[in-house]
Amino acid sequence: MNRSELAGPWRVDVGGGETVGAMFEPAPSPSGTLYVCAHGAGGHMGDSSMQAATRLMLACSLDVVRFNFLYREKKANRPDAMPQLKACFAAVAAFASAAVRPQRLILGGRSMGGRAASMLVADGYACDGLLLLAYPLHPAGQPEKLRDAHLGRITVPVLCFNGTRDALCRQDLMQQTLQSLSELWTMHWLDGADHSFHVLKSSGRTDRDVLAEVGDATTAWLAAKVRRKP
């Protein structure tokens, strides 16, 4: 099957007779790298943030698979429990890997989707890297509830983007967390950006500038930190 025939949409079996929707989008200039990208708690695979992330990663020569978690597939607003989120992510990643057969597999996503990916990989799911967009270190307004206990168990290269105005990732708390993590973790702060990577007009930058910065940093990270398979 050639790449154009893979485009989908896909229906992925996640167990128990349930399936979720997924979409494969091939990069115009493929690098052999597949990014499986999950949406945030309030989003879905077709929301504006996911579409922007997809366009950005395609421009970085990454093939992209985006998908819905089960609760979104059922039109529910409340996210599934983390074990269900991880099981869904693992099922989609396995399906995508078997279909696309990439040289490198990167997992990640926006906010909760990235957190689910990080917990899956911390549990030992095999991939070549993690790409996290707006990692939610803590709930908004509750900085004492850190979501960092599993991060030290991640043994693949990580690139994490957060804005310096992100209400779900206080910069000082993330910097403290980074002290206990290995050199595999690359933290990239987006000056003036919030959880949605939006910047104020007074910053002198635009949201497009922020996305361009994410793209440039992603390309550099892939080249420097993520090894290609022989």
The per-residue pLDDT for range 169-224, each reduced to its tens digit, is 999 999 999 999 989 999 999 999 999 999 999 999 999 999 999 999 999 999 99
Is there a domain that residue 230 lies in? no
Q: Between the CA of residue 14 and those of 59, 70, 93, 118, 155, what are the distances in Å?
A: 30, 9, 11, 19, 25
Q: Look at residue 68 and tell me if it is in a domain.
A: yes
pLDDT at 122: 98
What residue numbers bound the domain in which 79 lies? 3-225
Strand-pairing partners, residue 129, are 106
Give the mean model confidence (pLDDT) for residues 129-143. Answer: 97
- 149-154: long-range contacts, CB 8 A cutoff, minimum separation 24: 150/118, 150/119, 150/122, 150/123, 151/118, 151/122, 151/177, 151/181, 151/185, 152/180, 152/181, 152/182, 153/122, 153/123, 154/118, 154/121, 154/122, 154/130, 154/184, 154/185
pLDDT confidence of 30, banded at 50, 70, 90?
A: confident
Residue 181: which of 164, 213, 214, 159 has the closest Cα? Answer: 159
Count CB atoms within 10 A of the CB of residue 95. 21
Phi-psi region of 31 (alpha: psi -120 to 50; beta: other; left: phi over 0): alpha
Quick one: what percent of the chain has pLDDT higher than 70? 97
At residue 136, does pLDDT exceed 60? yes
Measured distance CA(202)–CA(224) in Å, rounded: 34
Per the structure, the count of domains in the chain is: 1
pLDDT category, 3, cuts 50, 70, 90? low
Residue 162: enclosing H or E segment and its boundaries? strand 158-163
pLDDT per residue over 63-101, tens digit each? Answer: 999 999 999 999 999 999 999 999 999 999 999 999 999
Strands 33-38 and 18-25: unpaired
205: in domain: yes
- What is the per-residue pLDDT for 2? 62
pTM above 0.85, yes or no: yes
Tokens of residue 185, six digits: 């973790």
Q: Which two tokens stand for residue 222?
A: 């892939």
Residue 35 falls inside a structural domain? yes
Q: Are 14 and 45 in contact (CB under 8 A)?
A: no
CA distance 167 to 194: 7
Closest CA to 158 of 177, 135, 130: 130
Residue 89 to residue 116: CA distance in whole angstroms: 8
Output the six-digit token pair for 93: 């990643």
Sign (positive/negative) of CA torsion 152, 158, 163, 164? positive
CATH number at residue 155: 3.40.50.1820
Share of the chain above pLDDT 90, in %: 92
The rounded mean pLDDT for the chain is: 95
In a domain, 8, yes or no: yes
